[in-house]
């Protein structure tokens, strides 16, 4: 696999491209996201298909991080059971350290995209738009 990331032009955030070059070692990619602010009063996730929002911070001063990922196979997991990516994915949601975990099937020659950002009027992304956005960033 090859990884390349680019800063987003209209917001604080980045876009990650994962190129699948070889399947000799794995056919599944596991990923996780969490602990936006580990000591905060609130660390809450809202998942909608291939996108999610993380709400974090003090209860009256919540901040958010938006994300768009290549799969809707996303689940709440126990951040304390992270010895392996698969163990985290299968850990269950009963915990005081919640994180999101997901998995994506790998296909040789395919590209996967992950986008993490602060939403605003110019930055509100869907998965289908990420390949074009990635190719346009840093073009003259």
| Percent of the chain at pLDDT exceeding 70 | 94
Q: How far is CA 10 from CA 63, 68, 90, 107, 121, in A?
A: 18, 16, 36, 31, 9
- Residue 137 forms part of a structural domain: no
Q: What token pair was written down for 80?
A: 């304390």
Number of domains in the chain: 1
Neighbours of 66 (CB within 10 A): 19
At residue 95 the predicted structure's pLDDT band, cuts being 50, 70 and 90, is confident
Task: Tell the residue number behind the tokens 């990650």, with chain if given.
Answer: 16
What is the distance between the alpha carbons of residues 120 and 85, in angstroms, rounded to a whole number? 32
**105 assigned to some structural domain:** yes
Q: Is the pLDDT confidence value at 55 over 70?
A: yes
Residue 134: inside a domain: no
Residue 22 domain-assigned?
yes
Query: 10 Å Cβ neighbour count for 117?
Result: 21
- 132 in a structural domain: no
Domain that holds residue 77: 2-125
101, part of any domain: yes
Please state the pTM of the whole predicted model: 0.89
Q: Decide if 60 is inside a domain.
A: yes
Closest to 97 in 3D by CA, of 78, 75, 76: 78
- 51: closest CA among 71, 68, 70? 68
Is 89 part of any domain? Answer: yes
Specify the higher pLDDT residue, 10 or 96. Answer: 10
SS3 annotation, 111-124? EEEEEEECCECCEC
Q: What is the mean pLDDT of residues 7-20?
A: 95
- Distance CA(122)–CA(11), nearest Å, equals 8
């Amino acid at each position: 696999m090859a990884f390349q990331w680019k800063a987003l032009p209209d917001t604080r955030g980045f876009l990650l491209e994962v190129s699948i070059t070889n399947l000799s070692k794995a056919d599944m990619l596991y990923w996780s996201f969490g602990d936006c602010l580990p000591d905060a009063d609130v660390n809450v996730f809202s998942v909608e298909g291939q996108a999610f929002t993380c709400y974090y911070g003090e209860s009256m001063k919540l901040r958010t991080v938006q994300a768009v990922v290549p799969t809707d196979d996303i689940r709440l997991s126990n951040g304390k059971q992270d010895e392996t990516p698969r163990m985290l994915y299968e850990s269950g949601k009963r915990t005081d350290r919640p994180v999101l975990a997901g998995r994506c099937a790998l296909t040789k020659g395919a590209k996967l995209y992950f986008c993490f950002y602060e939403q605003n009027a110019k930055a509100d992304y869907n998965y289908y738009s990420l390949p074009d956005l990635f190719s346009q960033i840093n073009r003259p």
